[in-house]
Amino acid sequence: MKEKIDLMDKIISLAKRRGFIFPGSEIYGGLANSYDYGPLGVELFRNISNLWWKKIVQERSDMVGVRGPIIMNPKVWEASGHISNFSDPLVECKICHIRLRADKPDEIHAHEETHKGKNSLPAGRQVEWTDPKNFNLLFKTFIGTTEDNKSTVYLRGETAQTMFIDFKLVQESARRKLPFGIAQIGRSFRNEITTGNSIFRMKEFTIAELEYFVKPGDDDRVFKEWLKFQQEFFAALGLKKENIKTVELPKDELAHYSKRTVDTYYKFPFGWDEMAGLANRTDYDLKNHIELSGANLKYKDDASGEEFIPFVVEPTFGLDRIMLAVLIDAYTESEARSGKDDAVHETEVTLRLSKELAPIKIAVLPLSRKEQLIAPAQDILKTLQQHWMCQYDETASIGKRYRRQDEIGTPFCVTVDFETASDQSVTIRDRDTMKQDRVKIADLVNYFGEKMSS
């Protein structure tokens, strides 16, 4: 277990050092469950999001997208059940007063072991906890000039409700017939009790989810189809199959709206935990919004004239957790050996990210800092930047610069050397194969076009 925890420490260190993930508000001592994405992190996250949108919306004729607000009419959350049901069971340690979720026994056990390790317990005494209390996860805020009940609103706890209250508008404006889906990527907010494990659990996070509307009776079949699709998406991300498993939730653990839920778990260094879910929400949300708002959100079949409330199958993807899984899965270490006696002298780190996900696709490296190499390198950079995210680096030896690019997952390096001026060619180094190709400058765009699509 210690080896796995050490891996998590290595990921966190690399993410901060190379500009993937920073602790939020660090200069003021930080804020629990708050993180910033640095220059590389924002690119990796954008690539994951774009791949999701491409697979979910662009490549399917039965999907459309929306973008809803973070603050909505509070009646939305009343109808959805979030105000009355959106809570976690909270317990408090009577010794140090830390609060944890009562339904996370591993975290409670780890906290008890920490006390034992610190010898902070009196002889013969065990850690005692308060009785569980429900803790609502919605963030409450106010709009208007006075902080009274009439101005109380909530930061959304999920993105799903936009797709429900806009169902009729989308269906009519986009001229859709069942089955069809509405997708959205957006920020959500939950007042999380537990902390730790980097971006795995945050108060402000990004969900990519869709509501797939079907005729009642078709929901079980469609559920199976989306479960299969979820696994295909994780394969497209390059996640190892052995690090992924599905978990069927028992009836007594289902959310208040769910007929059936299957969560997808990833094998994080701190243990198996959820990164995506699939729920059959039946007609729960549309029915409640119809009752509370009085609006007609039913679907009318033009062919039969039948009018009914659709059932909904909801695949949900936690993009921040998926990004953490991608970093962990791609992280590899190798032992570098010296040329003389083949002795191990350091450990080299490589992020084996797919070409589609890599934050930087190509690094342009002049062999030295001489002007005769820098000028053509800059020209090559400007050309390639029109097509891909690139990085320029002229500091330190070429070997160290290669290793820097390996560490951030860059698939290709372009080296401009002293022969470039005479043969108008550069050397291309492949991160994974270490193979080097000599390529004409004029052919670089076509060369990388083929490489990126293969």
Q: Which of 186, 206, 226, 218 is nearest to 314 (CA)?
A: 226
CB-CB contact of 387 with 359 (8 Å): no
Sheet strands side by side (includes 271-282): 63-65, 180-189, 204-214, 311-318, 271-282, 260-268, 244-248
Contact 268, 197 (CB under 8 A): yes
- Asked whether 299 and 290 are in contact (CB, 8 A), the reply is no
Reading across the β-sheet that carries 99-101, which strands appear in turn? 99-101, 87-92, 133-136
Angle at which helix 371-385 crosses helix 444-453, to 10 degrees, equals 50
**How confident is the model at residue 405, as a pLDDT?**
97
C-alpha 340, offset from chain centre = 44
Q: Distance (Å, rounded) from C-alpha 128 to C-alpha 109?
A: 12
Topology, domain 2-77+137-327: BirA Bifunctional Protein; domain 2 (3.30.930)
Helix (H) or strand (E) holding 163: helix 160-165
Q: Identify whether the C-beta of residue 357 lies closer than 8 Å to the C-beta of residue 47.
A: yes
Handedness of CA 190, 192, 195, 196 (dihedral sign): negative
Please identify which residue in the block is written with the tokens 């709009």: 143
What is the torsion angle, in degrees rounded to the nearest 10, for the CA atoms of residue 404, residue 408, residue 409 and residue 412?
A: -40
What count of other Cβ atoms lies within 10 Å of the Cβ of residue 214?
A: 21
Distance CA 301, CA 208 (A): 29
pLDDT of 136 reads: 67
CA–CA gap between residue 55 and residue 62 (Å, rounded) = 12
Per the document, the length of the chain is 454
The single-letter code of the amino acid at 173 is: S
pLDDT of residue 216: 96
**pTM, full prediction:** 0.87
CATH number of 360-453: 3.40.50.800
What are the phi and psi torsion angles at 86 (to 5°)?
-85, 80
**CA separation for the pair 86, 260 (Å, rounded):** 18
Residue 146 DSSP code: S
Interhelix angle for 319-330 vs 39-53, to 10°? 110
- Distance (Å, whole) CA 135 – CA 142: 20
Question: What pLDDT was estimated at residue 33?
Answer: 86
The beta strand positions in 215-269, using DSSP E, are: 244-248, 260-268
Query: What stretches in the chain show pLDDT beneath 50?
Result: 1
∠ CA 258-261-263, nearest 5°, is 145
Q: To which H or E segment does residue 65 belong?
A: strand 63-65
Q: Is 71 exposed, middle or buried (0-12, 13-18, 19+ CB in 10 A)?
A: exposed
Long-range CB pairs of 269-273 (<8 Å, 24+ gap) are 269/4, 269/5, 269/7, 269/8, 269/11, 269/328, 270/4, 270/5, 270/8, 270/197, 270/200, 271/106, 272/245, 273/200, 273/321
Distance between CA 141 and CA 59 in Å, rounded?
39
* Residue among 405, 294, 397, 389 nearest 348 (CA): 405
DSSP structure class, residue 217: T
Q: Where are the domains positioned within the chain?
A: 2-77+137-327, 87-136, 360-453
Q: How far apart are the C-alpha atoms of 417 and 427, rounded to whole Å?
A: 8
